[in-house]
Amino acid sequence: MRIVRLLPVLLSAVLVLSCGRRQQYPQQPTVVFGGEMHNSNASTPQSIESSLDIAVSLGFDAVLAPVYWELMEPEQGRFDFTLVDHLLSAAGERGLKLGLLWFGTWKNGESSYPPLWVKGNTQKYFRALDADGNPTTTISPFCTAALEADAAAFSALMSHLAKADRDRVVINVQVENEVGAFLERDFSPAALEAWEQGGWPADTSFLAPQRFMAEAFAKYVDAVAAAGKAEYDIPMFTNAWLMGEKARYGSYPNGGPREAVLDVWKRCAPHLDRLSPDIYAKDFAHFCAVYGGDQPLFIPETKREPGRLWYALGEAAASGVFSFGYEESYDDPLYVYECRTIAEMIPLLRQRLPSRGFWRNPAMDAKDAELSLPLGGVDFKVHYIGGEPNAYGVIVQTGEDEFTVAGVGAWIDFGENVKMAYCEEIRGGGVWQVLNGDETAHHNMLYLRGRLYLEPAVMPGDEGVEVPAPMYGLSYQRRFLKSSHLRFKTSGIYRIKLYSQE
Ligand code: DGJ
């Protein structure tokens, strides 16, 4: 009897012993939505707090925050984890998850974040040289002393996290930031030797220097990631500064995980769980496709443009999408309200139900474009409304013939003889109106009329009388509103059921 009672205790002891020192990583959220902090905002406890407060007000569930090598290891071997610990506690208190960005040897193709004992000692920690032998501001990816120092610091960070992050606030870690060098290739002596030994072609074809640099950076980043994973095995990634394929050397950090060399990175950096795009480029959909596919799409940086966020979550099945510098959204109510509506949709998106997403990209699509989005046996036709400044959204299949649609700036029909059995507008989690009649063209279409955030109007000459603001979009009158931001409608949420009327 006693042994039976003791069994669970014994079993858990065996489990703990068999896991050894290796830290187990708990279940991750399937989808996270948030922003990336401005570069300097994780440098003091008070700016960490301010930054995270803004994240909470936007409805985020995660924030990407930098950890600076120079502040973490001011003297070799002396580590200061004060800021990391503050990030953990401040995010935990606010119910936020964190992704940590390791600003180590490289940030945006330069080496400004290594501590002074590294970047001040250019003999030991040598830099990449241009074709004329001039030094750059980038530590060479062939510098093994720098790699050893970076890997030691990163593994100290990960070993600290394994112990300090008891509540498992950190969901992933980015290793370095937009690596590469603003060069055709590195001409340091070590790089020249590697070029010769690798049998790289003497007649430098356009791709050879790119592949050569990609291999060097990928191997370095992989070794840093491996050192960290040996201490704490959580998902790791690195991010790419994207450029058009015709970009000229010197205008982007050559060697990063750009489209043209993704295969090199996948081969040379097996310890990275994913390669991520920082998508500021116009053709957002293209880069979602390139960096998704055989790996989960995770976008650590993009613009504060709501259409990108809806598209990434609904169409590109992103496991995370983050706007860079979200702290600047104070004067951008469109972004603020859209973020809050996305936050309302996140629990549903997290269920990973079949979905489609759409965005009329102002840089690429016609104002009155149409598109066909088949989903769950229905041919959804999205018709963008020419007069609306913003048009985007998602369609999620929640059951047989049942869908939740969020968005604005378009109307949607469903193919021949398919109508809505009902259409409910959802606000604050509950049914705000049952839409019918004119609002749905007699159940034939879903009009994404969106939400308006307007103050009541005061009638001129009769200052005592307030007229309540309209409840939803009056497309044409909005043009006459004084403050430009009030002219925008933001996404609404609608629950619909379809049926076929043969
Ligand atoms: C990309 C970088 O990765 C970020 O840290 C930041 O510098 C942004 N660019 C600024 O647009």
* Residue 430, domain member (yes or no): yes
Task: State whether 244 and 375 are in the same domain.
Answer: no
- Residues 259, 282: Cα–Cα separation, whole Å: 15
CA-proximal residue: ligand 1, atom 6 (nearest)? 39
Going from the Cα of 390 to the center of ligand 1, the distance in angstroms, rounded, reads: 25
- Residues 443, 421: Cα–Cα separation, whole Å: 7
Please give the structure tokens belonging to residue 11: 């079993």
Average pLDDT of the segment spanning 309-313:
98
Average pLDDT of the segment spanning 471-493:
66
For the chain, give the percent of residues with pLDDT over 90.
Answer: 79
**Predicted confidence (pLDDT) per residue in 268-293, tens digit:** 999 999 999 999 999 999 999 999 98
Q: Please tell me the total count of domains within the chain.
A: 2
Per-residue 3-state assignment (H helix, E strand, C coil) for 328-397: HHHHCHHHHHHHHHHHHHHHHHCCCCCEEEEECCCCCCCCCCEEEEEECCEEEEEEECCCCCCCEEEEEE
Average pLDDT of the segment spanning 30-48:
97
Please give the structure tokens belonging to residue 387: 């007069």
Token pair 């007699």 in the structure block, residue = 442
CA-proximal residue: ligand 1, atom 10 (nearest)? 324
Using an 8 Å Cβ cutoff, are 454 and 421 in contact? Answer: no
CATH, residue 186: 3.20.20.80
| Contact partners, residue 473, CB within 8 Å, separation at least 6 | 408, 449, 450, 452, 489
Which ligand 1 atom is at minimum distance from the Cα of 66? 5
Neighbour count for residue 246 (Cβ, 10 Å)? 6
Going from the Cα of 64 to the center of ligand 1, the distance in angstroms, rounded, reads: 12
Task: State whether 364 and 250 are in the same domain.
Answer: no
Residue 11 pLDDT level (bands cut at 50, 70, 90): very low
Going from the Cα of 257 to the center of ligand 1, the distance in angstroms, rounded, reads: 15
Residue 475 pLDDT level (bands cut at 50, 70, 90): low
Task: State whether 270 and 412 are in the same domain.
Answer: no
Position 434 pLDDT exceeds 60: yes
Among 278, 305, 322, 327, the mutation site with the greatest number of ligand 1 atoms within 8 A of its Cβ is 278
Position 468 pLDDT exceeds 80: no
- pLDDT value at residue 474: 54
Residue 293 sits at the vertex; the CA angle it makes with 289 and 298, to the nearest 5 degrees, is 75
Using an 8 Å Cβ cutoff, are 93 and 167 in contact? Answer: no
Which ligand 1 atom is at minimum distance from the Cα of 178? 3
* Residue 15, domain member (yes or no): no
Residue 16 pLDDT level (bands cut at 50, 70, 90): very low
- Residues 489, 472: Cα–Cα separation, whole Å: 8
| Contact partners, residue 411, CB within 8 Å, separation at least 6 | 383, 385, 445, 446, 447, 448
Task: State whether 268 and 370 are in the same domain.
Answer: no
CATH, residue 461: 2.60.220
- pLDDT value at residue 455: 67
Residue 350 pLDDT level (bands cut at 50, 70, 90): very high
- Provide the strand spans (E) within 108-223: 127-129, 135-139, 170-177
Give exposure, 150-166, as e/b (b: 16+ Cβ within 10 Å).
Answer: bbbbbbbbbbbbbeebe
Going from the Cα of 335 to the center of ligand 1, the distance in angstroms, rounded, reads: 19
Using an 8 Å Cβ cutoff, are 106 and 176 in contact? Answer: yes
Range of the domain at 254: 44-276
Which ligand 1 atom is at minimum distance from the Cα of 239? 3
Task: State whether 197 and 48 are in the same domain.
Answer: yes
Going from the Cα of 346 to the center of ligand 1, the distance in angstroms, rounded, reads: 26
- pLDDT value at residue 22: 41
- Residues 352, 28: Cα–Cα separation, whole Å: 14
* Last residue of one domain, picked from the residues 276, 300, 328: 276
Among 36, 38, 39, the mutation site with the greatest number of ligand 1 atoms within 8 A of its Cβ is 39
Residue 347 pLDDT level (bands cut at 50, 70, 90): very high
SS3 label, residue 447: strand
Which ligand 1 atom is at minimum distance from the Cα of 300? 3
Q: In terms of DSSP bridges, do strands 466-467 and 492-500 run parallel, antiparallel, or are they unpaired?
A: unpaired
Query: Torsions phi, psi of 437, nearest 5?
Result: 50, -130
| Contact partners, residue 193, CB within 8 Å, separation at least 6 | none
Among 178, 237, 242, 279, the mutation site with the greatest number of ligand 1 atoms within 8 A of its Cβ is 178
**Predicted confidence (pLDDT) per residue in 147-201, tens digit:** 999 999 999 999 999 999 999 999 999 999 999 999 999 999 999 999 999 988 8
Position 119 pLDDT exceeds 70: yes
SS3 label, residue 246: coil
Average pLDDT of the segment spanning 348-369:
95
Going from the Cα of 301 to the center of ligand 1, the distance in angstroms, rounded, reads: 8
* Residue 36, domain member (yes or no): no
* Last residue of one domain, picked from the residues 218, 252, 276: 276
Q: Quick one: which of 393, 442, 395, 394 has its CA closest to 422?
A: 442
Residue 489 pLDDT level (bands cut at 50, 70, 90): confident
* Residue 295, domain member (yes or no): no
Task: State whether 365 and 256 are in the same domain.
Answer: no
Residues enclosing ligand 1, CB less than 6 A? 39, 108, 177-178, 278, 301, 324
Which ligand 1 atom is at minimum distance from the Cα of 39? 5
* Last residue of one domain, picked from the residues 276, 309, 344: 276
Going from the Cα of 107 to the center of ligand 1, the distance in angstroms, rounded, reads: 9
CA-proximal residue: ligand 1, atom 9 (nearest)? 108
Position 374 pLDDT exceeds 60: yes
Per-residue CA distances from 428 to 454, 473, 492, 493 (Å): 17, 18, 11, 10
* Residue 217, domain member (yes or no): yes
**Predicted confidence (pLDDT) per residue in 216-238, tens digit:** 999 999 999 999 999 999 999 99
Task: State whether 103 and 233 are in the same domain.
Answer: yes
* Residue 330, domain member (yes or no): no
Residue 30 pLDDT level (bands cut at 50, 70, 90): confident
* Residue 215, domain member (yes or no): yes
Task: State whether 169 and 57 are in the same domain.
Answer: yes
Going from the Cα of 160 to the center of ligand 1, the distance in angstroms, rounded, reads: 27
Task: State whether 254 and 130 are in the same domain.
Answer: yes
* Residue 235, domain member (yes or no): yes
Q: Quick one: which of 131, 71, 62 has its CA closest to 100?
A: 62
CA-proximal residue: ligand 1, atom 11 (nearest)? 324
Give exposure, 355-388, as e/b (b: 16+ Cβ within 10 Å).
Answer: bbbbbbbeeeeeeebeeebeebebebbbbbbeeb
- pLDDT value at residue 186: 98
Task: State whether 58 and 172 are in the same domain.
Answer: yes
CA-proximal residue: ligand 1, atom 8 (nearest)? 324
Task: State whether 368 and 228 are in the same domain.
Answer: no
Going from the Cα of 501 to the center of ligand 1, the distance in angstroms, rounded, reads: 53
Task: State whether 71 and 213 are in the same domain.
Answer: yes
Going from the Cα of 425 to the center of ligand 1, the distance in angstroms, rounded, reads: 38
Going from the Cα of 41 to the center of ligand 1, the distance in angstroms, rounded, reads: 13
